[in-house]
Amino acid sequence: MSKLTDAFKNQKAFIPFVAANDPDFEGTVNNVVALAKGGADIVELGIPFSDPIADGPVIQAADLRALKADPDLPMDTIFDMVKEIHQQTDVPLAFLTYLNIVFQYGYDAFTARCEELGIYGLVIPDMPLEERDELEPIAAKHHVDLIPLVTPISGDRIEKIAAAATGFIYVVSSLGVTGERSEFANGLADLVNRIRKVTDVPTAIGFGIHTPEQATEMAQIADGAIVGSACVNIVAEYGRQAPAKLTDYTKQMKAAVNAHPVR
Protein backbone atom coordinates (compact mmCIF):
# COMPACT_ATOMS: atom_id res chain seq x y z
CA MET A 1 0.00 0.00 0.00
CA SER A 2 1.08 3.59 -0.55
CA LYS A 3 3.13 4.98 2.32
CA LEU A 4 1.08 8.15 2.07
CA THR A 5 -2.22 6.31 2.38
CA ASP A 6 -0.69 4.47 5.34
CA ALA A 7 -0.18 7.73 7.19
CA PHE A 8 -3.97 8.10 7.51
CA LYS A 9 -4.46 4.69 9.10
CA ASN A 10 -6.51 4.68 12.34
CA GLN A 11 -6.19 8.44 12.84
CA LYS A 12 -6.57 11.83 11.27
CA ALA A 13 -3.45 13.07 9.53
CA PHE A 14 -1.73 16.39 10.00
CA ILE A 15 0.30 17.49 6.98
CA PRO A 16 2.42 20.62 7.34
CA PHE A 17 4.32 22.34 4.53
CA VAL A 18 7.58 24.26 4.32
CA ALA A 19 9.51 25.52 1.30
CA ALA A 20 12.91 24.02 0.51
CA ASN A 21 15.90 26.34 0.91
CA ASP A 22 13.90 28.76 3.07
CA PRO A 23 16.08 30.01 4.71
CA ASP A 24 18.86 27.66 3.49
CA PHE A 25 19.95 24.01 3.22
CA GLU A 26 20.48 23.40 6.90
CA GLY A 27 17.40 25.38 7.92
CA THR A 28 15.24 23.26 5.64
CA VAL A 29 16.55 20.04 7.12
CA ASN A 30 16.03 21.33 10.67
CA ASN A 31 12.53 22.59 9.91
CA VAL A 32 11.35 19.32 8.39
CA VAL A 33 12.90 17.30 11.20
CA ALA A 34 11.16 19.60 13.70
CA LEU A 35 7.80 19.06 12.00
CA ALA A 36 8.34 15.31 12.17
CA LYS A 37 9.26 15.60 15.82
CA GLY A 38 6.01 17.41 16.52
CA GLY A 39 4.10 14.47 15.06
CA ALA A 40 3.54 15.39 11.42
CA ASP A 41 2.16 12.39 9.56
CA ILE A 42 3.44 13.54 6.19
CA VAL A 43 5.56 16.61 5.43
CA GLU A 44 5.03 18.46 2.20
CA LEU A 45 8.24 20.02 0.99
CA GLY A 46 7.75 22.81 -1.52
CA ILE A 47 10.24 23.09 -4.37
CA PRO A 48 10.50 26.80 -5.02
CA PHE A 49 9.33 28.01 -8.41
CA SER A 50 9.85 31.45 -9.90
CA ASP A 51 6.16 31.80 -10.76
CA PRO A 52 3.97 29.85 -8.33
CA ILE A 53 0.56 30.69 -9.83
CA ALA A 54 -1.47 28.63 -7.35
CA ASP A 55 0.17 30.14 -4.28
CA GLY A 56 -0.74 33.20 -2.28
CA PRO A 57 1.61 35.94 -1.08
CA VAL A 58 3.06 34.00 1.88
CA ILE A 59 4.29 30.98 -0.08
CA GLN A 60 5.25 33.16 -3.04
CA ALA A 61 7.46 35.15 -0.72
CA ALA A 62 9.00 31.94 0.65
CA ASP A 63 9.78 30.79 -2.89
CA LEU A 64 11.37 34.11 -3.67
CA ARG A 65 13.48 34.02 -0.49
CA ALA A 66 14.61 30.51 -1.33
CA LEU A 67 15.56 31.45 -4.88
CA LYS A 68 17.22 34.66 -3.79
CA ALA A 69 19.45 32.63 -1.49
CA ASP A 70 20.38 30.40 -4.43
CA PRO A 71 19.09 31.57 -7.83
CA ASP A 72 20.04 28.30 -9.54
CA LEU A 73 18.91 26.03 -6.69
CA PRO A 74 19.56 22.78 -8.58
CA MET A 75 17.13 19.94 -7.98
CA ASP A 76 20.08 17.84 -6.86
CA THR A 77 20.62 20.20 -3.93
CA ILE A 78 17.02 19.63 -2.89
CA PHE A 79 17.43 15.87 -3.26
CA ASP A 80 20.49 16.19 -0.99
CA MET A 81 18.31 17.95 1.60
CA VAL A 82 15.91 15.02 1.46
CA LYS A 83 18.77 12.59 1.95
CA GLU A 84 19.89 14.53 5.01
CA ILE A 85 16.32 14.74 6.36
CA HIS A 86 15.84 11.01 6.03
CA GLN A 87 19.01 10.36 8.00
CA GLN A 88 17.26 12.00 10.94
CA THR A 89 13.61 10.99 10.52
CA ASP A 90 11.58 8.56 8.47
CA VAL A 91 8.54 10.85 8.16
CA PRO A 92 6.94 10.28 4.73
CA LEU A 93 7.63 13.18 2.39
CA ALA A 94 5.79 14.58 -0.61
CA PHE A 95 6.98 17.36 -2.89
CA LEU A 96 4.81 20.27 -3.86
CA THR A 97 6.05 21.79 -7.06
CA TYR A 98 5.14 23.02 -10.51
CA LEU A 99 5.37 20.70 -13.46
CA ASN A 100 8.19 22.51 -15.25
CA ILE A 101 10.65 21.60 -12.50
CA VAL A 102 9.86 17.90 -12.94
CA PHE A 103 9.83 18.21 -16.73
CA GLN A 104 13.30 19.79 -16.84
CA TYR A 105 14.85 17.08 -14.67
CA GLY A 106 13.15 14.44 -16.78
CA TYR A 107 10.04 12.59 -15.61
CA ASP A 108 11.83 9.27 -15.29
CA ALA A 109 14.97 10.59 -13.63
CA PHE A 110 12.96 12.75 -11.22
CA THR A 111 10.59 10.05 -10.03
CA ALA A 112 13.44 7.52 -9.86
CA ARG A 113 15.27 9.86 -7.47
CA CYS A 114 12.05 10.27 -5.48
CA GLU A 115 11.75 6.52 -5.12
CA GLU A 116 15.36 6.18 -4.09
CA LEU A 117 15.14 8.92 -1.45
CA GLY A 118 11.70 8.27 0.00
CA ILE A 119 9.57 10.95 -1.62
CA TYR A 120 6.27 9.15 -1.92
CA GLY A 121 4.13 11.69 -3.66
CA LEU A 122 4.01 14.78 -5.84
CA VAL A 123 1.47 17.58 -5.55
CA ILE A 124 1.59 19.51 -8.82
CA PRO A 125 -1.00 22.30 -8.93
CA ASP A 126 -0.54 22.98 -12.65
CA MET A 127 -1.09 19.38 -13.71
CA PRO A 128 -4.84 18.74 -13.90
CA LEU A 129 -6.37 15.33 -14.63
CA GLU A 130 -6.20 15.91 -18.40
CA GLU A 131 -2.42 16.30 -18.35
CA ARG A 132 -1.61 13.50 -15.92
CA ASP A 133 -1.03 10.85 -18.53
CA GLU A 134 2.40 12.06 -19.55
CA LEU A 135 3.72 11.57 -16.02
CA GLU A 136 1.43 9.06 -14.30
CA PRO A 137 2.74 5.76 -15.75
CA ILE A 138 6.33 6.81 -15.11
CA ALA A 139 5.59 7.91 -11.55
CA ALA A 140 3.65 4.71 -10.92
CA LYS A 141 6.63 2.65 -12.07
CA HIS A 142 8.66 4.35 -9.33
CA HIS A 143 5.88 4.08 -6.75
CA VAL A 144 5.37 7.80 -6.55
CA ASP A 145 1.76 8.92 -6.06
CA LEU A 146 0.46 11.92 -7.98
CA ILE A 147 -1.73 13.72 -5.45
CA PRO A 148 -4.64 15.33 -7.29
CA LEU A 149 -6.42 18.50 -6.20
CA VAL A 150 -10.20 18.70 -6.01
CA THR A 151 -11.90 22.08 -5.58
CA PRO A 152 -15.37 23.28 -4.50
CA ILE A 153 -16.12 23.97 -8.17
CA SER A 154 -14.78 20.73 -9.64
CA GLY A 155 -18.37 19.63 -10.28
CA ASP A 156 -18.59 16.60 -12.57
CA ARG A 157 -14.86 16.22 -12.43
CA ILE A 158 -14.86 15.12 -8.78
CA GLU A 159 -15.60 11.45 -9.49
CA LYS A 160 -13.16 11.25 -12.39
CA ILE A 161 -10.35 12.78 -10.36
CA ALA A 162 -11.08 10.61 -7.33
CA ALA A 163 -11.21 7.44 -9.39
CA ALA A 164 -7.70 8.07 -10.73
CA ALA A 165 -6.18 9.05 -7.38
CA THR A 166 -3.58 7.21 -5.31
CA GLY A 167 -1.89 8.27 -2.05
CA PHE A 168 -4.35 10.88 -0.87
CA ILE A 169 -6.61 13.52 -2.36
CA TYR A 170 -5.95 17.19 -1.72
CA VAL A 171 -9.27 18.91 -1.16
CA VAL A 172 -8.99 22.63 -1.77
CA SER A 173 -10.99 24.40 0.94
CA SER A 174 -11.98 27.45 -1.06
CA LEU A 175 -11.38 29.30 -4.30
CA GLY A 176 -8.33 31.35 -5.00
CA VAL A 177 -4.78 30.72 -3.91
CA THR A 178 -3.05 29.38 -0.80
CA GLY A 179 -3.03 31.61 2.28
CA GLU A 180 -4.68 31.94 5.66
CA ARG A 181 -8.44 32.39 5.67
CA SER A 182 -11.24 32.73 8.16
CA GLU A 183 -13.95 31.16 6.02
CA PHE A 184 -14.21 28.06 3.88
CA ALA A 185 -16.48 27.11 1.04
CA ASN A 186 -19.82 25.60 1.89
CA GLY A 187 -20.39 22.06 0.86
CA LEU A 188 -16.97 20.66 1.75
CA ALA A 189 -18.68 17.74 3.49
CA ASP A 190 -20.70 16.97 0.36
CA LEU A 191 -17.56 17.19 -1.69
CA VAL A 192 -15.74 14.70 0.53
CA ASN A 193 -18.75 12.38 0.53
CA ARG A 194 -18.80 12.34 -3.25
CA ILE A 195 -15.13 11.38 -3.21
CA ARG A 196 -15.74 8.62 -0.66
CA LYS A 197 -18.41 7.06 -2.86
CA VAL A 198 -15.78 6.51 -5.54
CA THR A 199 -12.62 5.64 -3.66
CA ASP A 200 -11.05 4.61 -0.35
CA VAL A 201 -8.12 6.91 -0.96
CA PRO A 202 -8.05 9.31 2.00
CA THR A 203 -8.74 13.04 1.73
CA ALA A 204 -6.94 15.98 3.31
CA ILE A 205 -8.25 19.53 3.26
CA GLY A 206 -5.86 22.40 2.64
CA PHE A 207 -5.70 26.11 1.65
CA GLY A 208 -6.22 28.56 4.47
CA ILE A 209 -6.16 26.41 7.60
CA HIS A 210 -4.11 27.95 10.41
CA THR A 211 -5.84 27.66 13.79
CA PRO A 212 -6.35 24.46 15.82
CA GLU A 213 -10.11 25.12 15.78
CA GLN A 214 -10.11 25.12 11.99
CA ALA A 215 -8.01 21.96 11.95
CA THR A 216 -10.49 20.21 14.23
CA GLU A 217 -13.39 21.32 12.07
CA MET A 218 -11.74 20.21 8.82
CA ALA A 219 -10.68 16.87 10.25
CA GLN A 220 -14.33 16.18 11.10
CA ILE A 221 -15.07 16.47 7.40
CA ALA A 222 -12.00 14.86 5.84
CA ASP A 223 -9.26 12.45 6.85
CA GLY A 224 -6.62 15.07 7.46
CA ALA A 225 -5.59 18.71 7.28
CA ILE A 226 -2.81 20.37 5.30
CA VAL A 227 -1.25 23.57 6.63
CA GLY A 228 1.10 25.63 4.47
CA SER A 229 1.12 29.38 4.92
CA ALA A 230 0.93 29.23 8.73
CA CYS A 231 4.11 27.09 8.89
CA VAL A 232 5.84 29.28 6.33
CA ASN A 233 4.96 32.32 8.43
CA ILE A 234 6.67 30.72 11.42
CA VAL A 235 9.79 30.12 9.34
CA ALA A 236 9.72 33.70 8.06
CA GLU A 237 9.23 35.15 11.53
CA TYR A 238 11.59 33.03 13.62
CA GLY A 239 14.37 32.12 11.17
CA ARG A 240 16.93 29.95 12.99
CA GLN A 241 14.61 29.68 15.98
CA ALA A 242 11.79 28.30 13.81
CA PRO A 243 12.33 24.56 14.48
CA ALA A 244 11.27 24.70 18.15
CA LYS A 245 8.20 26.76 17.20
CA LEU A 246 7.34 24.38 14.37
CA THR A 247 7.49 21.40 16.73
CA ASP A 248 5.16 23.12 19.22
CA TYR A 249 2.76 24.21 16.52
CA THR A 250 2.67 20.71 15.00
CA LYS A 251 1.96 19.12 18.39
CA GLN A 252 -0.94 21.48 18.86
CA MET A 253 -2.34 20.95 15.35
CA LYS A 254 -1.86 17.20 15.48
CA ALA A 255 -3.85 17.10 18.71
CA ALA A 256 -6.46 19.34 17.11
CA VAL A 257 -7.08 17.12 14.08
CA ASN A 258 -7.68 14.19 16.41
CA ALA A 259 -9.78 16.16 18.92
CA HIS A 260 -13.54 16.11 19.11
CA PRO A 261 -15.10 19.41 18.23
CA VAL A 262 -16.23 21.62 21.08
CA ARG A 263 -19.62 22.72 19.91
The correct pick among 30, 154, 203, 229 for binding another protein (CB under 8 A) is 154
The correct pick among 43, 73, 96, 114 for binding another protein (CB under 8 A) is 73
187 forms part of the interface with another protein (CB under 8 A): no
Catalytic entry in 55, 136, 217, 223: 55
Is 44 known to be catalytic?
yes
Is 55 known to be catalytic?
yes
Please state the three-class secondary structure of the chain as a single string: CCHHHHCCCCCCEEEEEEECCCCCHHHHHHHHHHHHHHCCCCEEEECCCCCCCCCCHHHHHHHHHHHHHCCCCCHHHHHHHHHHHHHHCCCCEEEECCHHHHHHHCHHHHHHHHHHHCEEEEECCCCCHHHHHHCHHHHHHCCCEEECEECCCCCCHHHHHHHHCCCCEEEECCCCCCCCCCCCCCCHHHHHHHHHHHCCCCEEEECCCCCHHHHHHHHHHCCEEEECHHHHHHHHHHHHHHHHHHHHHHHHHHHHHCCCCCC
Q: What are phi and psi of 165, to 5 degrees?
A: -80, 150
Using the contact rule CB under 8 A, the part of the chain among 9-17, 73-81, 192-200, 217-225 near another protein is: 73-81
60 forms part of the interface with another protein (CB under 8 A): yes
241 forms part of the interface with another protein (CB under 8 A): no
129 forms part of the interface with another protein (CB under 8 A): yes
Using the contact rule CB under 8 A, the part of the chain among 11-19, 145-153, 185-193, 241-249 near another protein is: 145-153
69 forms part of the interface with another protein (CB under 8 A): no
We find the least distance from the C-beta atom of residue 171 to another protein, in angstroms, to be 11
130 forms part of the interface with another protein (CB under 8 A): yes
107 forms part of the interface with another protein (CB under 8 A): no
The correct pick among 9, 116, 140, 153 for binding another protein (CB under 8 A) is 153
Residues that bind another protein (CB under 8 A): 49-51, 53-54, 56-57, 60, 64, 67, 71-75, 98-101, 103-105, 125-131, 148-151, 153-157, 161, 172, 175-177
Q: Which residues are known catalytic residues?
A: 44, 55
